[in-house]
Amino acid sequence: MARFDFPRWQLTTRGVVAPDERLPALQTLAMGAQHAVAMFGATVLMPLLMGLDPNLSVLMSGVGTLLFFIVTGGRVPSYLGSSAAFVGGVVAVTGFSGHGLNPHIDIALGGIVACGAVYTLAGLVVMRLGTRWIERLMPPAVTGAVVMAIGLNLAPVAIRSVSGSPFEGWMALITVLCLSLVAVFTRGALQRLPILIGLIAACLLYALFTNLLGLGAPVDVSLLEKAAWFGLPHITAPTFNGQAVMLIAPVAIILIAENLGHLKAVAGMTGRNMDPYIGRAFVGDGLATLLSGSLGGSGVTTYAENIGVMAVTRVYSTLVFVAAAAIAIALGFSPKFGALVHMLPAPVIGGASIVVFGLIAVAGARIWSQHRVDLSENGNLIMVAVTLVLGAGDFSLSLGGFTLGGIGTATFGAILLNAILNYRQKVPAAPVPQDS
């Protein structure tokens, strides 16, 4: 049974820093800033792709991380940032074009709140029954197929966002190149921040091509100059729509699989058994998603980027994430920060989305590889094939007054097909009668 008391963080100044240890205050703050930078690229990009207020999303990532810290008793080192798994569902139910604020975001927020509720409920069940039922319902073959289907479902969104003019298309490819070069050829901390560093490089090139050479719409800095340093973010109340709930709530399945994988990775790095805290981690993540959606923010999840920072620094103190959360909250209350984010050129965002959505798809294949999923088995092969076509083709089904979109049909289709096609492997074969 997981302990519900907070650890007594012991001060240490050298070597590996365990989750229940702490650095001096200034070093803790510096490490927190590094984690805030690590989450920055994706946590800002995902809200922009969905038309959310980036100030509010960053603010809620900080609040959600603090909530996660409390629910897990300060024993699981993780940061909660905006999840890419919500992008497809939000775009599908709102018809968002990919630029500016989403005028119909309230409909999607209802689905995000429902997803958070489902996720929280799953966490409570795990606290009671353990994780075996999840592993049987969603083995790696299923989760890999669903993750890949989400990435493929988002591909048309990324391409349409950079198809307005030849310059936009070329600028998107330059952005892809910037992110790729940072990810492959840099080392150390820079390699852990490919989205952030790549976006900065792409924006500088965009300003060179437009403001100096006149090849496209120039970067407008007037909003940044006029924005105040401190102010409240824009809050939006959710509207509950059955179709939106049916489409977005199943994202909880992806968040469960993602969080479970991250906890296993953290356990391997820290040498601590995280299994007793899996249910509480699900509840913390679910409540953070529910709270964020209730106010107008994105659904959240644990971040691989921050796990990467821990792997490099070997500092696993959970108090570092409290410092990172405080920095995110401070940024969320700064309209000048929001204005800076909105200065990101649309072709640059489109190029970054090509990389991010592609990485989501490839993450599915990575799950198969890590768990040695055998695609030569007909059950796995057919389940994966059908799931990918349903997701990539955005296959929809009408159920009474509801319409289940491509991500929903792919998710539920993968679970059902796996249960049906692999049933014979789960049921012991009947004994063969012996000749007398």
DSSP 127-186: HHH-SHHHHHHS-HHHHHHHHHHHHHHHHHHHHHTT-SSHHHHHHHHHHHHHHHHHHHH-
pLDDT confidence of residue 188: 64
Within a domain: residue 410?
no
Looking at the structure of the chain, the number of domains it has is: 1
Q: Is residue 392 part of a domain?
A: no
d(CA 110, CA 366): 31
Contacts of 236 (CB under 8 A, 6+ apart): 53, 105, 106, 109, 295, 296
Confirm if 36 and 29 have CB atoms less than 8 A apart: no
Sequence-ordered list of residues with C-beta below 8 angstroms from that of 225, at least 6 positions apart, any chain: none
What are the beta bridge partners of residue 402? 399
What distances in angstroms separate CA 240 from CA 34, 113, 117, 118, 293, one per listed residue? 37, 9, 13, 15, 11
Asked if residue 381 is part of any domain, the answer here is: no
Residue 234 lies in a domain: yes
- Per run of 10 residues, the mean pLDDT along the chain (length 436 residues) is 70 78 82 74 75 86 92 87 80 75 85 92 88 78 80 75 78 87 75 72 86 77 76 84 82 79 74 82 92 89 73 79 89 79 77 76 78 84 89 74 68 85 59 49
Is 435 contained in some domain?
Answer: no
As beta bridge partners, residue 10 has 21
What value, to the nearest 5°, has the Cα angle with vertex 40 and ends 191 and 364? 65
Q: Is 433 among the domain residues?
A: no
Does residue 10 form part of some domain? no
Rounded Cα distance, 404 and 224, in Å: 41
Query: How many other C-beta atoms can be found within 10 angstroms of the C-beta atom of residue 261?
Result: 20
Query: What percentage of the chain's residues is helix, strand, coil (to nearest 5)?
Result: 70, 5, 30
Within 8 A by CB and 6+ apart from 434, the residues are none
419 assigned to some structural domain: no
What's the pLDDT at 403? Answer: 61
- DSSP H or E run through 382: helix 378-392
For residue 144, the enclosing domain spans: 23-361
Looking at the whole model, is its pTM more than 0.75? no
Amino acid 434: pLDDT: 52
Helix segments in 333-370, DSSP class H: 335-342, 346-370
